Structure 1
Amino acid sequence: MAPETPQERTELADLVAARIADLGLSYRRLADLCVDPEALTEEEARPWARSTLENLIKGRRITAPTLPMLRALAAGLQLHLGQIQEAAGAQFLGIDSVWSQDGQARALVIGFREMSPEDQAKVLALIEEKTQLRRD
């Protein structure tokens, strides 16, 4: 992959950049903090290179991160794994998380952002209907 080609979506990059700013981290320090808590070896525990993090944040194309990479990133950024997975799914797979109004139900929808407003409303109505059925 050409590292100079920008990603079409930037959800994970934006989340990482914002959190780096909040925590006052450098790329190198973040790479040091990104340790997969489930890794079995030291080599597997540190899956992020400084340059890969920099490429991600600067919008250069990188390979989609693996689950161990996402766990390590969540640890380094002090965020819940779900937040990292949601952003990565959106950026790398085009999967949008669509939540019910009460935040109790979520649907993973491919291409939700590209849907017409009418189709988006239908998806939201389905989620709300299922949420209401669970309450009854």
Structure 2
Amino acid sequence: MSLMATEDRPRAEAPRPALRELVKRRRAELGLSYVKLAIRCVDPETGAQTVKDSWLHRLETGLKVLPPEYPGIVGLAVGLQVPLHVVQAAAGEQFFGISTVQAESTRARALMARADRLTPEQVDALAAFLDVVPPGDK
């Protein structure tokens, strides 16, 4: 009987390697070694290096690493030459299971910011409305 109960439980989902994949892809695109990338990962205000090459290696090869703190995320954005929100989203997804939605337009971001003020019923109604609205041309 206890075997049956164990089988019925959903399996824990493995963490997504979002930051690992971002680092791997951008490092390859930039043609950098771990050492050269780490040297580029600096605090833009102080110039202090925020990430070690050994951490980058462990991250990219799938070994256990501690989540980066904010200065490390900022440094990674500088070193990888990507917007800060891209690194933040990848780190949040990989280490904390946070899935974010990014919007390019100011209008879309403003609408998303207001969504927190809606009741659950209003969210459901809005979602139902959006499901039937045909997509517009950009």
TM-score w.r.t. length of structure 2? 0.64
Partner of 1:9: 16
State the identity as a percent.
Answer: 42
Partner of 2:127: 125
1:61 to 1:125, Cα distance in 2 relative to 1, 3 A: farther
Q: For 2:36, which of 29, 32, 40 is the aligned residue?
A: 29
Distance in 1 separating the partners of 2:15 and 2:99: 14
Structure 2 unmatched runs, 5+: 1-13, 114-123, 132-138
Q: CA RMSD in A?
A: 2.9
Q: Which structure has the bigger radius of gyration?
A: 2
| Structure with the bigger percentage of strand | 1
* Number of equivalent positions: 103
TM-score w.r.t. length of structure 1? 0.65
Name the SS for the 2:101 alignment partner. Answer: strand
Q: Where does 1:40-119 land on structure 2 (aligned, <5 Å)?
A: 45-99=48-102, 104-105=108-109
Does structure 1 retain, via aligned residues, the 8 Å contact 2:37–2:80? yes
